[in-house]
Structure 1
């Protein structure tokens, strides 16, 4: 009987091979067979780390809900994208609150302020809840809160910065140029959320023509966060004197008065893009005389 029992056990092993890992699992379980996934994980030496599951509740899409820089007087749009709000829209609302005075501006698609410059924008089945501000002023700058009416409520803060582009001409308001040198006027447009579409230069209220018979007149404009326009006039002559005006499309104009001189040395003189004062001229003259005597 013992031999027969041994033969039956041997037959069972042949019919149902069990790995060493399965036998280890079988020590603490009623079944000696481990699930294939667990067996593979044990054979690889470590259990597989569970993959993160996507968020199921409402949350903000930060990539589509950024701070805004708006141009003074030009309509601004503050966008708040809420993911997974789904069919809970009837129970949950997205609101906009102005932090400066804790003023409720919008709830859902409805506007709750008497200031008609503010408006709630939301398209059906869209994840975007937008606050529109018409004719923004400097006082509108600050923090705005996009809020989801969960319990507790969820908030995302967006900063609005209302800017007014400014125009500067380097070296103004008056420049003194020596006759025969190159007039180099540099106009800089600052604090503009977008580069100006164009920049015009005027001389004595007339638009400068770059292909006029006078010749030697050119403009180079470099657009970017700070836009710079260079007006170059070669071989300056007395007729080039007058008022020059830089006119960006999205900012106030700026003027400079240019004097083309014949050897005079007024309060400031520009030579080849450099500015000289009478004091500087005297120092240079004294240095020359000193070197000549020595």
Structure 2
């Protein structure tokens, strides 16, 4: 790894940020693309807005540290380094762990927005921070309790969450590796959907051009509509399944106490019989 040489800092009007604050410091910088093919953002509890921009030749990080006490500003930093063809950005250091808090009039946070070339791949690791992502080539997202609002991902959206919710539209493909109690509401998916393990979270998918394949579901509900291919579910426990409008086959291999309802299925239907 080598340290990046950061280009001249650029100024942004205070109206671009979420709120006024008593003490603030600019943390903005630009990085020339120069062979970078992907961006990795490690957020911790920081919220992020990220946008892909056609024709952009650099990565623009717009950030402001904001705190009720001036002494806390030095702890609000963004670390970045080049790792091969990846640019890695981190808002909290692992060897100097601390938490952003907001109690009464005491607060400290980073307001962060990143603009990237639209063909750049992104990987986002978030703890409790919320992410708003638009107009990207692809996105690999993992989070604890942070929420994701996503739109217009040309390639694949990969997701793994704990209790965070995910909403979005305009996706190339979807790979939901696992989720705990988070709810998913996604529509306008142009390719296939692959779902691994779902705990108690609900999964609502609408207007899927390809097929949907689901692994193991606990108590979460599944609601699928307007699916161009097949729907296949390996097993579901106590969660309910509702399917409306499938051009291909519907298969549920194993079900516990769940209710399974379906209509407008064009192909074969193979589901466990109700008790």
Going by fraction, where is strand more abundant, 1 or 2? 2
TM-score for the superposition, normalised by structure 2 = 0.21
Bigger-Rg structure (1/2): 1
Higher RCO (CA < 8 A, seq sep 6+):
1
TM-score with structure 1 setting the length: 0.20
Instruction: Answer 1 or 2: which has greater helix percent.
Output: 1
